Structure 1
């Protein structure tokens, strides 16, 4: 964990994974970040994935490894084909930030929102981090990710309104499926996973993920 004087003045903790020296521009912030402050902070550091939990703790993640990036690409490509044909919602990539109802700022590896729900968000708020929880979220566990932390994040999505969440653990060849009012389903090396009933007709073939 790395803390800075600027971070202390803002009463926030700065966590950097992996722990490497980074130049972070906090600007003139001497107070906890509000939603706009956090958005512009992220814009100043576009090469990093930055999240903030509901308590104001900031986590900065380095770019993914090549293997994880390739897996994310395959997932996004397969899902984009389905989403475009389906037309009932809008999909988002891993660089998209959302403000959840509990105040946390999260960037899932992939997400999708029902179209009518997305269009209900005022246009000006859509240009920043939209104050909305996606209906469907996916997180892919990379080599540096803590499974426990990712599981907590998935629980947070469900608690804040997500209807379906997939945690894809490439290392252990497992998929954890999260749904409203249901126990977490753990699948061992599945050949495919279905998004129904939320994502009608979407089935993800796992051969490109687990080999």
Structure 2
């Protein structure tokens, strides 16, 4: 099952309307691109769901030890500063960035770009839309991102002001200076 993309560029869906649309359609995972397209993301299968859970677990274990930020699942929609409302498979926001948000902003779709994201390509995902999504994060202030691609046995590393680095499996990814001490062994 592939994502369904609706072109709503001329509809001008407000942030409040998008939020309400998501609230009344809780059974759907909805995203909005920076271009104003509405993306209906299909559910993932068992293997991808298990891999996603492993990624979040590894990130959360590191974060519980470091206490440097907040970890988020793929159910969280972030309102990105440069447009778009996106849900990474795993995300991390530095604690001081999170605490700068009001309680209302924390409760809704946080108006912030995560400092770190992981996107995991599932069996039915096309690669190019995920790469475009990673660029949206970078354009909005992402400090480090990993696009994990089990089908091609590789990972793409996204950093500001640098070309995307592609590494093959097996590989150990480092959280670098964004997540000091965090490492992820791939394949997992």
TM-score bin, normalised by smaller chain: over 0.9
Residue 138 of structure 1 contacts residue 165 of structure 1 at CA under 8 Å; is this kept in 2? yes
Distance 1:70 1:61 in 2: 17
Alignment of 1:2-13 (within 5 A): 12=8
| Higher RCO structure, 1 or 2 (CA under 8 Å, sep 6+) | 2
Q: For residues 75-118 of structure 1, what are the alpha-carbon distances to aligned partners after superposition, in whole Å with 9 as ceiling and x for unaligned? A: 11111100111101111000000111122100000111110011
More strand by share: 2
Equivalent of residue 187 in structure 1, options 167, 172, 176: 167
Q: What is the Cα-based RMSD across aligned positions, in Å?
A: 1.8
Match of 1:26 in 2: none
Match of 1:23 in 2: none
Q: What are structure 2's unaligned runs of at least 5 residues? A: none
Distance 2:108 2:95 in 1: 18
Equivalent of residue 201 in structure 1, options 178, 181, 186: 181
2:146 is equivalent to residue 169 of structure 1: no
Distance 2:35 2:134 in 1: 17
Alignment of 1:1-211 (within 5 A): 12=8, 32-208=12-188
Q: What are structure 1's unaligned runs of at least 5 residues? A: 14-30
- Compare 38-47 and 102-111 and name the one that shifted more: 38-47
* Higher Cα radius of gyration: 1
Residue 47 of structure 1 contacts residue 63 of structure 1 at CA under 8 Å; is this kept in 2? no
Distance 2:4 2:126 in 1: 18
**Number of positions where the alignment pairs a residue of Structure 1 with one of Structure 2:** 185
